[in-house]
Amino acid sequence: MRRNGTMRHLSVILFFVLLAGPQIQGIAQTKSETRLYGKTVSAADLKSYDKFLKRYPTSVYASDILARKDTLLNISPYTLEDARSIAAPFIGKDAAYVASALRRNAVDRVYALAVSADTLAYQACRVLCLENKGGKWMKVYSYDADDVLPQVKGPETDRKPYVHDSFLMNLDPGNSIMVINCLVEAKDSTAYCSIAYSITDERLVHTFFVGKNAFSESGSDYCIEGYYSYDRNSRDSVYNFLCRRVANNPCLIKVSEDDHYTDEIVRSWSIANAGLCSNQKGKATVLTISRGSLYEQFDKAKEKAVGQKYTAAMFDYRGYTMIVVKVNHSIEYFLAWAEPECANHNTDRLLNSIYFENQNTLVMAYYHGRKFYKIRYNLASKVVSK
Q: Which domains, from first to last, does the chain contain?
A: 2-72 (no CATH), 80-209 (no CATH), 258-385 (2.40.128)
**Any idea which of 98-107, 159-168, 196-205 has the lowest mean pLDDT?**
159-168
Find the mean pLDDT for residues 73-81. Answer: 86
Please give the pLDDT value at position 220.
63
Does 215 or 47 have the greater pLDDT score? 47
**Surface-to-core class of residue 311, CB atoms within 10 Å of its CB (0-12 exposed, 13-18 middle, 19+ buried):** middle
- Position 115 scores a pLDDT of 87
For residues 191 and 208, give the distance between their C-alpha atoms in angstroms, rounded to a whole number. Answer: 7
pTM above 0.75, yes or no: no
d(CA 274, CA 284): 10
First and final C-alpha spacing in the chain: 136
Confidence of residue 13 (pLDDT cuts 50, 70, 90): very low
Reported as a single tens digit per residue, the pLDDT across 249-299 is 999 999 888 998 998 899 899 999 988 988 888 999 999 998 889 999 999
Give the amino acid at 189. S
What confidence score (pLDDT) does residue 158 get? 56
What is the pLDDT, as a whole number, of residue 381?
96
Whether the Cβ atoms of residue 286 and residue 334 lie closer than 8 Å to each other:
yes
Share of the chain above pLDDT 90, in %: 43
Higher pLDDT, 220 or 83: 83
Alpha carbons 226 and 211: distance in angstroms, whole number: 4
Banded pLDDT at 26 (limits 50, 70, 90): very low
- The mean pLDDT value of the chain amounts to 84
- For the cut 60, the answer to whether the pLDDT of residue 25 exceeds it is no
The answer to which of 103-117, 151-165, 230-244 has the lowest mean pLDDT is 151-165
Q: Specify the pLDDT at position 6.
A: 52
Which region among 49-58, 117-126, 163-172, 178-187 has the lowest average model confidence (pLDDT)? Answer: 117-126
More confident residue, 294 or 186: 294
Residue 86 has pLDDT above 80, yes or no: yes
How buried is 263 (Cβ within 10 angstroms: 0-12 exposed, 13-18 middle, 19+ buried)? buried
pLDDT for position 283: 94
* Overall average pLDDT of the 73-94 stretch: 88
Beta bridge partners of 170: 176
196 compared with 144, residue with greater pLDDT: 196
- Residue 5 pLDDT grade (very low, low, confident, very high; cuts 50, 70, 90): low
Nearest Cα residue to 180 out of 124, 251, 104: 124
Q: How far apart (Å, rounded) are the C-alpha atoms in residues 188 and 111? A: 36
3-state secondary structure of 365: strand
158 against 33, higher pLDDT? 33
Please give the C-alpha separations between residue 140 and each of 130, 132, 133, in angstroms, as whole numbers: 5, 10, 10
Evaluate if residue 20 carries a pLDDT over 70.
no
Length of the chain equals 386
For residues 252 and 181, give the distance between their C-alpha atoms in angstroms, rounded to a whole number.
13
